A and B are shown apart, each in its own frame.
Chain A
Amino acid sequence: GQNIDQPTEMTATEGAIVQINCTYQTSGFNGLFWYQQHAGEAPTFLSYNVLDGLEEKGRFSSFLSRSKGYSYLLLKELQMKDSASYLCAVREASTLTFGKGTMLLVSP
């Protein structure tokens, strides 16, 4: 079966660092995506990992360990606008399977 787990909610303070974890058990693996979704809006692409290791893009970084079925999204220097849902998704063959998302609330 397919199973993608992420925490439901997280809170953090403006300027801080937060790590959102994602574990997956899927029948196939062709890469892992992170998307950001603000309330009432469409998801937007943040990062893609297919090999083990860390991918850095500005304030956001994403890490993958295929052997552990584990990824995390690291957000640095948090801003109020980072309050959103963060979706972990695994590509199996051609389609994406999404987790339920982690709602991040950034407070002043």
Chain B
Amino acid sequence: GAGVSQSPSNKVTEKGKDVELRCDPISGHTALYWYRQSLGQGLEFLIYFQGNSAPDKSGLPSDRFSAERTGGSVSTLTIQRTQQEDSAVYLCASSEQHRGSYEQYFGPGTRLTVT
């Protein structure tokens, strides 16, 4: 079956512009996560959605970052007024459950470059 998909695969934007990154999770997965990975760094948790519950936004680095998940499926991560330090690979993951041994399946990521 289809895995997690993300679009675009690459995005180059000018400093100060807004960007939207999209994630299509695996069908039926109730949990969805956003991470970012900078060069030489580990995965940094950004935000987590579980079903209809309020999202866990504790990892968002600033109020320029926001995310939505519509209909319990597709998610969009929005970065407003982008800065050069926002340049990173943004990874989305989904899982069947949010606890226990349920593994997270990752998408291929969106490489964001802010010039």
Chain A residues packing against B (C-beta within 8 Å): 4, 30-31, 33, 41-45, 48, 50, 87, 89, 91, 93-101
Contact = CB atoms under 8 A, between A and B. Distances in A.
A99 B42 CA distance: 6
Interface stretch (B13-21, B63-71, B72-80, B105-113): B105-113
A96 B42 contact: no
B42 A95 contact: no
Contacts of A99: 42
B42 A101 contact: yes
A95 B106 contact: no
Contacts of A98: 35, 42-45
Contacts, number: 55
9 contacts: A43-B106, A45-B103, A45-B105, A50-B101, A94-B48, A94-B99, A95-B59, A98-B44, A100-B42
Interface of B: 4, 31, 33, 35, 40-45, 48, 50, 56, 59, 91, 98-101, 103-109
Given A31-B100, A48-B103, A94 B56 contact: yes
B101 A48 contact: yes
A31 B101 contact: yes
A95 B107 contact: no
A42 B33 contact: no
A33 B103 contact: yes
Nearest to B104: A96
A74 B97 CA distance: 27
A45 B108 CA distance: 14
* A-B interface, 9 closest residue pairs, ranked by CB to CB distance from nearest: A42-B106, A100-B42, A45-B103, A98-B43, A94-B98, A98-B42, A48-B101, A43-B106, A42-B108
Given A98-B42, A98-B43, A30 B109 contact: no
